[in-house]
Amino acid sequence: MLFDEDLIKFSQDFLQVAQKNQYTKSFRHHLQYLDKEQLKIQLIDDAHKTVFWVNVYNAFVQSLLKEAPSLYRNLSDFHNRKRIVIAQHKISLHLIEHSIIRRTRARWRMSSFEKEFCIEAPNPLIHFSLNAACISAPPIDIYTLDQYNEQLHKVTEAYLQKEALYMEDKNMLLLPKLLQWYKKDFGGNKGLTAFVQKYQLVPQEIKPKLRFQPFDTAIALNAFCIK
């Protein structure tokens, strides 16, 4: 199979094929033997890195589980085993997520590959772009270079509309667990309230008590955005 030399387009094609439950082994094989220099040349800034890595991460999650659903029985092994090879570098879903995309892993613990290709200053909304194939995960979009910021806002809004709830009688705001895990990226509890108010889930003048929903890890494949 011939692949697009543009790695952004390749990442989009990979995710589209994974969405359709089509044959993805050739895409994974292509990534395995990809010239590392091509990654350096094409992933030139955080925008390119964001689109490429988010699409590739979501594509791997979908394709691996559709091919072998039993992998989901052991979530720790599924996320932590280095079963992915990119440019002849073995890496796990966990490392792609936390070292390269979210940048929540300490730099001294990162490999040279992770340091070289990680997103330097992730947009906090990137937390809503990753889908780990579970019920409480945000929806999947196929990100493009020219619209990824707008897409991140739309995915975030859709996720909050589904997962956040303001109970006026108790002045309590129920938020998705993701926001508790990464609340420092949003400025702590005060920042979370202001963040949610931007999406008009809470009146501007209100200072609600914050509570967080449990995170449902039951498997849920193919949770793509409806276009």
Residue 34: per-residue pLDDT: 95
- Helix, strand, coil percent content, the chain, rounded in steps of 5: 55, 10, 35
| Burial class for 5, CB neighbours closer than 10 Å (0-12, 13-18, 19+) | exposed
Distance CA 213, CA 189 (A): 15
Distance CA 181, CA 152 (A): 18
Reported as a single tens digit per residue, the pLDDT across 154-193 is 999 999 999 999 999 999 999 999 999 999 999 998 899 9
Residue 105: per-residue pLDDT: 81
Structure tokens at 119: 């997103």
Task: Give residue 149's pLDDT band: very low, low, confident or very high (50, 70, 90).
Answer: very high
Structure tokens at 93: 């879903």
Do strands 209-212 and 172-175 pair parallel, antiparallel, or not at all (unpaired)?
A: parallel
Residue 4: per-residue pLDDT: 65
Residue 66: per-residue pLDDT: 95
Mapped onto helix, strand or coil, the DSSP state of residue 91 is strand
Reported as a single tens digit per residue, the pLDDT across 26-49 is 999 999 999 999 999 999 999 999
Q: Which runs of consecutive H residues, i.e. helices, occur in the chain?
A: 7-19, 25-32, 36-42, 46-67, 75-80, 93-95, 112-117, 148-163, 177-181, 188-198
The model carries a pTM of 0.95
Residue 2: per-residue pLDDT: 58
Reported as a single tens digit per residue, the pLDDT across 62-92 is 999 999 999 999 999 999 999 999 999 999 9
Structure tokens at 141: 């979009």
